[in-house]
Amino acid sequence: MLRSERSTLRRFLALYAFLTLALVLVASVLYYRSEERIMLLRRKAQVADYAADQIKRLRRLHEHFPRERTYPRDPRFRSAIYDLEHVQIFSTMRNNVVDFRRDIYRHDGVIHFVKLLDSYYLGAKYLFIEIPDDRAWFWTTLGKTALGAGVALFLLALAGLYLARLFLSPMRRSIELLDRFIKDTTHELNTPLTTILANVEGLDSAGLDARQRKKLERIDLAARTVSTLYDDLKYVTLESERPARDSDIDLTELLKERLLFFETMFRARNLELHTNLHPTVMHADRRLIARLVDNLLSNAAKYNRRGGSIEVTLRPGELSIRDSGRGIPPEVLREIFDRYARFDESEGGFGLGLDIVRRIAERYGLEISLDSEPGKGTEVKVLWKDAES
Amino acid sequence: MKRVVFSLLILIGLGMALSAQTSIFDRNCVSCHRREGVSLRRTFMNALLIYSGEQNMKAGLKYFLRHPSKETSVMGEEYFRTHRLKAPTTLTDSELDAALDTYWQRYKVIGNLR
């Protein structure tokens, strides 16, 4: 999946997940509240009987006060009386945080039922009946709510996945189309390209005059450029699925060979080449590492200025290619490894190069560091853990 | 000097204790209610039944004692078939407040339940 595709998907999914969570949360709270309401209503009938009993006893106490002073108690519940000014007259309740505005509510492990008295026996306007909160109810309801929320989340996640697919399919289709087109084209390129290269090499340049030789060199250069491009395309479309054939490769020798291949291109652009190659061995597929090196060298040449320089340094664990080009603006640096992204529209190409570099680097756990200073040039470093060092 | 101050303090204390004993409540309300045979405990419990809270009760009774009427009385219709309505109080505002404070303090239910 492409990075741009991925970030679109991520953004979409984040938004979707947020909305889904909010929705499920609200629904859960509403469900829980209504369940609580139903439970309280059920308890209310029972507690109203308790309240009626208690009021009868309060009335008797009111008539016999102060000869009789003992507040009536009942093993089935606890209670409290408050006067019109919300001052507590007496309480046997465990939890004395009371709410005068509601008729029944749960609070901190107890249920309070509030009954307003018609005659204020003992001055009491409010009678609170307290019964212990049913913990079992709480847990089963919480369980039911969580289960419902879980199922809803799961279904919504499925729907989200489906939507995301739907959302991405036009994008995916166009990329697939491009891939198929390149695959077909690549296949057709092979034969003519080999013919040109073989014939240019077969020509005897010694027998030509200076102008003819120059023209031949240009043909050679153009053919090699197309050949690199062909190799890239082949890698991307056909070969990336091929199992790698890893072996110990002599990087020094490989670099020398690739530099020779690019010699014509460097010369055509008047580039000065500095090399500092220490003997280095790496365990990898030779063709893949050649693709990686080719792409880095080709970029260093393409985005260089005329008469600039290229510096290639190789030592165990590090390959550095530094050019003296115009550099890469920082905002482009981030997406530079994306397939089909070219960081400079002024040069031709399919923008495959750095994507290939990235893929090969990922395959072998190589670290790529890009260090660019606009106007001065770019240094690409490939770093790996060398077995010897 | 010390002895003078000491005996003065004792005198003041005695005086305060005496005046508390024979407060405006005892002098005015209790004596008349005893004469009339109307239990102040009964009137208190009746008033509590209607007024509930302390401030509400004091304000309500204050108004009633100044402007007695059968309609606003806490004694009920039954009572007035056999009894007369009381006369408006002659106490000043602050005396009435003090008397009602004592009344509440002595007869209240809050703090007297077990």
Say if the Cβ atoms of A87 and B54 lie within 8 Å: yes
Structure confidence at residue A206 (pLDDT): 77
Cβ of residue A121 closer than 8 Å to a chain B Cβ: yes
User: A143: distance to nearest CA of chain B, Å?
Assistant: 43
User: B74: distance to nearest CA of chain A, Å?
Assistant: 12
How big is chain A, counted in residues?
A: 389
Structure confidence at residue A218 (pLDDT): 81
Say if the Cβ atoms of A123 and B112 lie within 8 Å: no
Assigned fold of A245-383: Heat Shock Protein 90 (3.30.565)
Return the domain boundaries, chain A.
3-134, 245-383
Question: Is residue B4 in a domain?
Answer: no
| 3-state class percentages of chain B: helix first, strand second, coil last, to nearest 5 | 70, 0, 30
pLDDT averaged per 10 residues, chain B (length 114): 55 50 87 92 94 95 95 91 91 94 95 91
Structure confidence at residue A345 (pLDDT): 47
Structure confidence at residue A63 (pLDDT): 94
Structure confidence at residue B6 (pLDDT): 54
Cβ of residue A58 closer than 8 Å to a chain B Cβ: no
User: Quick one: which of A275, A347, A267, A357 has its CA closest to A310?
Assistant: A275
Which chain B residues are within 8 Å of A80, Cβ to Cβ? Answer: none
Give the closest of B45, B55, B110 to A89, CB-based. Answer: B110
| Residue A116 predicted with pLDDT over 70 | yes
Q: How far is CA A31 from CA A110, A133, B113, in A?
A: 21, 19, 43
Residues A55-92 have pLDDT tens digits of: 999 999 999 998 999 999 999 999 999 999 999 999 99
The pTM of this model reads 0.56
Structure confidence at residue A10 (pLDDT): 81
Cβ of residue A85 closer than 8 Å to a chain B Cβ: yes
Say if the Cβ atoms of B49 and A90 lie within 8 Å: no
Lowest mean pLDDT among A167-176, A239-248, A379-388, B15-24: B15-24
Q: Are strands A318-323 and A377-383 parallel, antiparallel or unpaired?
A: antiparallel
Say if the Cβ atoms of B54 and A90 lie within 8 Å: no
Cβ of residue A87 closer than 8 Å to a chain B Cβ: yes
Q: Which residues constitute the domain of residue B74? A: 22-107
Structure confidence at residue A243 (pLDDT): 72
User: B48: distance to nearest CA of chain A, Å?
Assistant: 5
Cβ of residue B46 closer than 8 Å to a chain A Cβ: no
**Complex confidence, ipTM:** 0.82
Question: Is residue B62 in a domain?
Answer: yes
Q: How far is CA A350 from CA A202, A342, A353, in A?
A: 30, 7, 8
| Residue A3 predicted with pLDDT over 80 | no
Query: Which H or E run contains A272?
Result: strand A272-277
The pLDDT confidence band at residue A1, using thresholds 50, 70 and 90, is low
Structure confidence at residue A4 (pLDDT): 66
Q: What total number of domains does chain B contain?
A: 1
Q: Find the Cα–Cα–Cα–Cα dihedral B31, B35, B37, B42, rounded to 10°.
A: -10
Q: Which of the pair, A105 or B22, is modelled with greater confidence?
A: A105
Question: Is residue B35 in a domain?
Answer: yes
User: B58: distance to nearest CA of chain A, Å?
Assistant: 13
The mean predicted confidence, pLDDT, of chain A is 85
Highest mean pLDDT among A168-177, A212-221, B64-73: B64-73
Question: Is residue B11 in a domain?
Answer: no
Say if the Cβ atoms of B49 and A69 lie within 8 Å: no
